[in-house]
Structure 1
Amino acid sequence: MDPEDLSSMPGYEGHIEYLGDKESEGTLRITDLRLSDSAGYRFRLITSGDKFAGSPVSLTVTDVVLEMVPTSVSESESVTLTCRTKCTLDPIAAFIWYKNGQPIPNSNTYSLVYSLFSVSSEDTGRYSCAVEGHEDLPSAEETLTVRYGPRNTSVSVSPSGEIVEGSSVTLTCSSDANPPADKYTWYKKNIASPKASGQSYSITNISSEDRVEYYCEASNSKGTETSIPVHINVMSVFPWVPVMGVGAVLTAGALLVIIYCTLKRRSTGGSDATTDTQSVHHDPNSDPYTGLNMRTMSPDYDTLANVRDSPSDTSPQRDTKPP
């Protein structure tokens, strides 16, 4: 049976590569080795007068395979990993175990079996193995799936903070579960009957009666968990509040006007009083009574003044009126 020319065989495009000048030397590179590449290989020289074939060389391709049983478990169950290879191994060869591409600490073992006991959600990931000394040839990865019930169940409120009476609010329930939670139930605190179902719960035209605590219950095939209650803070707004607001503004405006007018009146009244006071102080030079000088009206004025001013004169005053 004549050897087959790999360059003409289907499925080898991009899988083999000829190196060298193909005259004085030649090199064949096979990339991405497969089990089907196990065979005998030899080169053949073709000249103008004859053909010459070299001695065949045998290539055996082996692989490392990871077997995982089972690949999907519930928490607290166990998983067995087995690393298999067709290579002839040293009796004391060790195996290296990987999770998500990183070596598992303290996992090197001389046994081709590695067990995970009482798994948890943290054991979920991609696993592979390799033979020590051939870490560059690890097995293909197998994915372990761990099923568990809802955990870290919580409620978020949108919008957050105070909710104005008459507006709307939406509550959303979230949880970590595998498989994902497929049932959500909403409750008011201290009320046994459920209020609604679904991952989100909306309250429209909210009122003061809704100012209570709410919580949700998340469930899947593995279990159920209840969230911590959250309080809805509803701010009451009465119909007369806007009227009072307008009245307060008008009252404040009127008060300002009254204060201004009062201050203005006081200021104007003070200047008028000053003017009136000044008007009653007549100029002595212009007073029509200036001519009635008491000293010039009677020659006896000084005498009368002296008599009245003298304390020693106790005799009755005579009538000086001429007869």
Structure 2
Amino acid sequence: MKKLCHLYNNILIVSILLIVFGPPGAVAHCSHFTGMHVHVPPEILALSGSCVDIRCRFDTVPEFNSTKTTYGIWMKYTKKYKNVEESQIYYNSSGSMNTHKMEIIGELWRKNCTTRIFDVTPFHTDLYMFRIENEGMNATYCEDFFMLRVVDSPWNHTLDVYGSNLKEHQSVTVSCSAFTPCVHSPPELTWNLKRDSIRQILTNTDGNITTKIQENITLTYRHDGYKINCSARYPVTGGFKQSPESVKTLSVSHSPKETRASISPSGLVSVGTLLELSCSSRAKPPISRFSWFKNSKDGVTKVSEVQVHRFTATPTDEGDYYCEVTNSLGSETSRSVCVDIFDAPFIPSINIPVGELKEDQSITITCSVSTPCPQSQPGLTWNLKQDSLRQTEKNTEGTFTTKIQETITLSDKHDGYIISCSARHPGDKKGKTAKTEVTLTVSYAPKNTSASISPSSLLSEGNWVELICSSRANPPSRFSWFKKGPEKFSKISTGIILRVKFTGGNEYYCEAENELGKQRSSPITFRSQGTTGSLIYVLLGVVGMAALGIIGFVLNKWYKQTS
């Protein structure tokens, strides 16, 4: 059981003995009392140039009067319990002594003797004990001393990640904490996890003070291998003292990420080239399976289960390839790479609407080429229109279609029209092209309907002649013949040819008809040879008389001028 140095003012004998027999400068001696102590840590660490807090509380006897003025005294510990010299007193809260820049910041009337020392130097390294002076009680706690050790370098701080077997999507708490000997001047903590994290000052279960910053983070694959570093610097007289940097490297398990497929050599290749398709990925644990797939118009095909797929290029190898990687936490698929063989054939196709095409119908005609790679857009030309806009679309199976298209309104002139489209690979420097042709079939009503007579020379009454009807139409026309009567034209026959006797003054026309419409020819009027000859003779006579008149007029005028 420890001894308590205790002095009661009301014990007259003890007081008289101290006054009479005590050595000069003595302030107290130690008496034996049980059950009362001053409670301080046995050892306290301080940083040179900073401040330090001494946690302290003391026990009292019933005579302690908390309403009366109380003073606390810190002094050098000595084994000579009888007396303490004034030179060994470092601080008196009465203000009479303060050689060590100390200040009691606790409330003595609440039995709290917590003390702060400012501007600590190696000179402060020592053993300290405490004395209390109160009107009801004066006592020196001789055996409840503590050791103050002053260090020149700051302490290592602690960097903690709370959690084990870290995995992506897991939420964890990360903290950086540093020992804080003085609440008045805590260390500054900085790290690379987040700027301006909130600083907390906490009291641990052992009574020590800790300064801490803390963040909650949700782990991703990018945190695997990520180095969290934290540093602390302590304010001291004239600047700061830096503690060694703490570093912790995260180990985070995750499914495959950043999966990439690459091809060598890249760009256009020719048939016979040795190709290497390589697959890479980030994963923890490592990749357990690599798989290569090819996209084509027939669907997806697995081609190998190796990390590097090697083959010699043939025209059938052209296409889109991608890899898939797997570990115990999942799988991921890369973006595709394209094997582009410039001497593989490009065969264009021409697309027109399905069904019967009719005149005045508006249709869209397309010339397209399916290609495996978006960068190999072929050159397309056709005879429908110059400089048609070229478009490239991605198909569902991963291939690409390059096309040109035009919208036209059909007429009878498009029937039998041949549309020709040519395609050329952009990497083919020889200019080789592939060509496709399609012939349009357009239905339309009869056009250019006409009637003619055979023979076509001058005819005489009663001769047999043939009237012939012609027309352009799809589907072909049905023909009808009409003859002019006293009041109107009447239908007299059908068919292409009508055989009749030549009778002057008769008038005929034909009509062509199909499902889409009909058209009438211009009429033909019969004129006999006799009538025609008389008219010619009359015309020649008129012309001859006019010529003779002109000659006579000219001669008469000339005669008058000469005479």
TM-score by length of 2: 0.28
TM-score by length of 1: 0.47
Give the structure, 1 or 2, with the largest relative contact order (CA under 8 Å, sep 6 or more): 1
Kindly indicate which of the two structures has a greater share of residues assigned to strand.
2
